[in-house]
Amino acid sequence: MPGQDTNPQIFADADFPALFLAADHASRSTQRRYSAMTGVILGGLVAGAALSGLSRMFPDAARGVAFATAGITSLSFMLTTIRWALKPEKHWYAARAVAEKVRSLTWLFVTDADPYVPSLTGDEASTQFLGDLRRTIQDQGHAALGFGSEFTEHPQITARMRAIRAGSLEARRDLYLTARLRDQRRWYGSRARRNQVAGTRSYILIQFSQAGALASSVLLVSPYMSGWDFAGLFSAVASALIGWMHLRQYQELAHAYAMAALDLGLIEERASMIKTETDLAAFVAEAEAAIGRERTMWTAKRQ
């Protein structure tokens, strides 16, 4: 394929089945849509509180500010209704479940792990794999509502998948270690650190917002600052940040990702013991089960 990376230690997204590409694309797009709608809704609450404070500080502009507040509130209300009706988060979770299931099945297939054992012929293994893909999409049928037509011509079993499966034990083992296990471990580690930092920053901002609300309330008793009421604005900011933290689940994800990275690290230590096809199959099955546990926990917490 033109432009395709031929590095034997690389397994690119384009090497996965069409079903993975469609589910991954649908998951990412619906996640962005859900996050954007939630951000606008929470931002509308903050903007409404800010405009409310301005109307009291500048009574001459109260009419214009009131129209602006009504517009922002209406937008927030409409987006909340649309989000409730469309439920993009449900499509996000379902599409992600399909993508991760297909990703795991693909690695089992290319490494000759159970149920695609080496004793099966190429056609038998392919038939089994395609049947598992069909059952995956049937189990999460509503996820297909978000699948577009971008990948309809992409194969379900790519040439790269067939080439890896036909390769030597050492080649399949090394590719799995590099492109799956270590890559996934690095991903978990980086996401754990990112969520930890984001959670700490959000907590600090919430504390500052709450302190600002308290200070504004105290200043209202001052004869010089009685017209400057920022308590509502700071309170709205704190509430919006709390809502955003609840959406992103920073601390919970940081802990889950860190534990998953540690678990995969323990599994990786046994890679040097792989000597036979049976060893490789057991190794891959254990690693995929560990990754699957993290994904199951992620889905349960989101729902």
Which of 28-42, 51-65, 120-134 bottoms out in mean pLDDT, i.e. has the lowest? Answer: 51-65
Q: What is the mean pLDDT of residues 256-283?
A: 94
- CB neighbour list of residue 233: distance below 8 Å, 6 or more residues apart: 46, 49, 50, 53, 216
How many residues comprise the chain? 303
Q: Check residues 102 and 55 and name the one with the higher pLDDT.
A: 102
* DSSP SS3 for 164: helix
Give me 26's structure tokens: 């649908």
Using alpha carbons, select from 133, 151, 132, 130 the residue that is nearest to residue 26: 151
- CB neighbour list of residue 258: distance below 8 Å, 6 or more residues apart: 188, 189, 192
Q: What is the pLDDT of residue 146?
A: 65
Q: What is the pLDDT of residue 198?
A: 94
pLDDT at 3 over 50: no
Using alpha carbons, select from 126, 161, 185, 137 the residue that is nearest to residue 12: 161
Domain ranges across the chain: 14-167, 168-303
Instruction: List, for residues 115-166, the tens digit of each pLDDT value.
Output: 999 899 989 999 999 999 999 988 776 665 667 778 888 999 999 999 999 9
Q: What is the mean pLDDT of residues 158-179?
A: 94
Q: What is the pLDDT of residue 6?
A: 52
Q: What is the mean pLDDT of residues 269-290?
A: 94
Instruction: List, for residues 201-224, the tens digit of each pLDDT value.
Output: 999 999 999 898 888 877 777 666
